[in-house]
A and B are shown apart, each in its own frame.
Chain A
């Protein structure tokens, strides 16, 4: 324990410090800290601590998360899908989340505060968060879960041509679901007596998710916002359909931004049904444009912010 104490003291300030070489004592402490994690987790942590190369981070983070997930749920982490939800899918409660954070802090020599913790809802969030911290980049926007009502409110596309039922959006990308109900108007003719979801519509669904990302996930220029009436499709490349999708199938859509260069935004997209690949698009490109942000009317500071201290709001001294 004393070794551990010294090393964490020594590297307290920066997220990662290579000022001090990774000593055999560090390795012993690291092995002890990760004794219930897989050998590959330990290896990745050693490599990270030796080189500071963030490439090793996902393996460390997944390894630490895995160690705290009940054995019967660990299989879910094998695919390491970034949209796995910590609470709902992995059974990790807020206390376990804290255990994970403490071990990650210990192993990577970084500090994570409570505010930051609250936003980490998916495995992808956790990986992205730690990656940003280590690289010293601004932290990603937390994942937002958007129900259909919200989606329909913000999107320029409306039923019956909206192919997203629910979605979650962060600054790193978006994922969503669409259930083929069988009631879609075009299925009557596509095909005769054989309803099959058109590949062009599936590509449309990915495009719609990219639109949702631009509206809800993109961090715009200061004072600007993306205009919902200025987004149009410009092109796509490398599209392949792997699976016939029929009524009853639930499409799991996901897109990730590849390039952002005004006025073009390029994404990669995939659709899965369960674990099966359905559609892949290497590139989907949209055009978009900014308008001036609508400044919300100035309101009084929210009460919660003030009442974080034990001083009652009403009696909080202003002049003194």
Chain B
């Protein structure tokens, strides 16, 4: 069976805009939350967001945007971007550099790009308001390509001259985990030699606030208490945006280029709850099956896994159903794998989450640490019985499982292995 490896990473996240900063935040359990000015209104009950620093994408006019000086953009590129397109472009530049890819390595028929984002409600809203106000013929010709759910792949495929497979994944918070799974398939089926997987979200008011209507956002006003998966006092998730890019390559390409990968992508599994449009299965049935499918696909026994980067978003129901699913799969006298949720530091990246946290896992494997689950002062009794890791450990896990669950009960479980 052909094998696939992660050879490059790029980050624009609430906890850092490059892998060094991200690693430091994960080691020090330093969160990326701030009181968000747009939420500072009496009628908005939630206050905290995992903000992307160093960028300003507040304007609907891309030419007003600011970004770190190391990046430069022509108007021609910017004009079709959503905020998360800008973040993703920067993260992709990092990942290409990190993987030491040449222009020819990036643009050829054997290199593809999969993306995941929820689109840009921010720009969609802007364009539709303008359409109503001034009529459709005075609307930007880029209204669609800069805002609809495919905007990420439209922009990146064109900007980086991608010639291989490309498409976007839309399974809500499981999206970019799905993208990694199918990218792995592209490579191991021999269809592509290299895949970029891009997760990104605007993470602004329009992207996050609607979740308050579902009563799923934390109402905490203290940034250091708002996101605390598995804690008894958790009260919902904290939204975040940004982007993460992973470069996944075939074994042949890794050998040919002589690069050292972060880790191997061992395989993956998925399964659906078939239960509720928005609520996770109370026993975590779909996620349990996804984890079992991943283990079966990789022919690993459950005791081989030594760290689980949980999906746990800090919601009341979701965290408990994931713990139940983990208990069901790792049904030993002492459940071995350490479990943590890095969303305690970043917030919930929605479509970005799976890619971001897989990249954290790859970083942890290569840099030799296991990230802890921050902000737990009292474990929720319903979340007991698993090996919750509260502080970051300075040892690398050998086998990491990364879970992701999305609306409609979509569940993905990915497995990564130290090389």
Chain B residues with Cβ below 8 Å from A96 are 76
Contact present for A1 and B140 (CB under 8 Å): no
The docked-state distance in angstroms from the alpha carbon of A301 to that of B372 is 73
Interface size, chain A (Cβ < 8 Å): 16
The docked-state distance in angstroms from the alpha carbon of A127 to that of B76 is 24
Band of interface residues on B: 10 to 19
Contact present for B129 and A105 (CB under 8 Å): no
Q: Mark A87-117, 1 if CB is under 8 A from B, else 0.
A: 0000000011011001001100001000000
The docked-state distance in angstroms from the alpha carbon of A105 to that of B79 is 19
Is there a chain A Cβ closer than 8 Å to B137's Cβ? yes
Is there a chain A Cβ closer than 8 Å to B65's Cβ? no
Contact present for A111 and B137 (CB under 8 Å): yes
Given contacts A5-B134, A98-B141, 5 further A-B contacts (CB under 8 A): A1-B134, A8-B134, A70-B74, A99-B141, A102-B140
The docked-state distance in angstroms from the alpha carbon of A102 to that of B141 is 9
The docked-state distance in angstroms from the alpha carbon of A108 to that of B141 is 19
Q: Could you list some 20 contacts between A and B, CB below 8 A? A: A1-B129, A1-B130, A1-B133, A1-B134, A4-B133, A5-B133, A5-B134, A8-B138, A36-B63, A70-B76, A95-B141, A95-B142, A96-B76, A98-B141, A99-B79, A99-B140, A102-B137, A105-B137, A105-B138, A106-B138
Is there a chain A Cβ closer than 8 Å to B75's Cβ? yes
A-B pairs, top 4 by smallest CB distance, nearest first, are: A5-B133, A98-B141, A5-B134, A95-B141
Q: In the complex, which residues 122-161 of chain B have their Cβ closer than 8 Å to any Cβ of chain A?
A: 129-130, 133-135, 137-142
Closest to B63 in A: A36
The docked-state distance in angstroms from the alpha carbon of A111 to that of B136 is 12
Q: Most chain-B Cβ atoms within 10 A of its Cβ — which of A8, A36, A95, A106?
A: A95
Is there a chain B Cβ closer than 8 Å to A2's Cβ? yes
The docked-state distance in angstroms from the alpha carbon of A105 to that of B63 is 20
Chain A residues with Cβ below 8 Å from B138 are 8, 102, 105-106
Please report whether the interface of chain B is mostly helix, strand, loop or mixed according to DSSP: helix
Minimum CB–CB distance for B169 against chain A, Å: 27
Contact present for A2 and B133 (CB under 8 Å): yes
Q: B134 contacts which of A4, A36, A111 (Cβ < 8 Å)?
A: A4
Minimum CB–CB distance for A105 against chain B, Å: 7
The docked-state distance in angstroms from the alpha carbon of A96 to that of B75 is 10
The docked-state distance in angstroms from the alpha carbon of A106 to that of B139 is 10
Closest to B134 in A: A5
Minimum CB–CB distance for A115 against chain B, Å: 14
The docked-state distance in angstroms from the alpha carbon of A1 to that of B134 is 8
Chain B residues with Cβ below 8 Å from A70 are 74-76
Closest to A96 in B: B76
Chain B residues with Cβ below 8 Å from A2 are 133
Q: Most chain-A Cβ atoms within 10 A of its Cβ — which of B76, B130, B139, B142?
A: B76
The docked-state distance in angstroms from the alpha carbon of A2 to that of B129 is 10
The docked-state distance in angstroms from the alpha carbon of A98 to that of B75 is 15
The docked-state distance in angstroms from the alpha carbon of A25 to that of B139 is 21
Chain A residues with Cβ below 8 Å from B129 are 1
Chain A residues with Cβ below 8 Å from B79 are 99
Q: In the complex, which residues 1-18 of chain A have their Cβ closer than 8 Å to any Cβ of chain B?
A: 1-2, 4-5, 8
Closest to B139 in A: A102
Chain B residues with Cβ below 8 Å from A4 are 133-134
The docked-state distance in angstroms from the alpha carbon of A253 to that of B139 is 40
Closest to A36 in B: B63
Chain B residues with Cβ below 8 Å from A106 are 138
The docked-state distance in angstroms from the alpha carbon of A36 to that of B63 is 9
Chain B residues with Cβ below 8 Å from A1 are 129-130, 133-134
Chain B residues with Cβ below 8 Å from A99 are 79, 140-141
The docked-state distance in angstroms from the alpha carbon of A111 to that of B135 is 12
The docked-state distance in angstroms from the alpha carbon of A105 to that of B141 is 14
Q: Most chain-A Cβ atoms within 10 A of its Cβ — which of B74, B76, B134, B139?
A: B134
The docked-state distance in angstroms from the alpha carbon of A105 to that of B133 is 15
Chain B residues with Cβ below 8 Å from A111 are 137
Minimum CB–CB distance for A85 against chain B, Å: 18
Q: In the complex, which residues 51-92 of chain B have their Cβ closer than 8 Å to any Cβ of chain A?
A: 63, 74-76, 79
Q: Mark B310-321, 1 if CB is under 8 A from A, else 0.
A: 000000000000
The docked-state distance in angstroms from the alpha carbon of A4 to that of B130 is 10
The docked-state distance in angstroms from the alpha carbon of A4 to that of B138 is 11
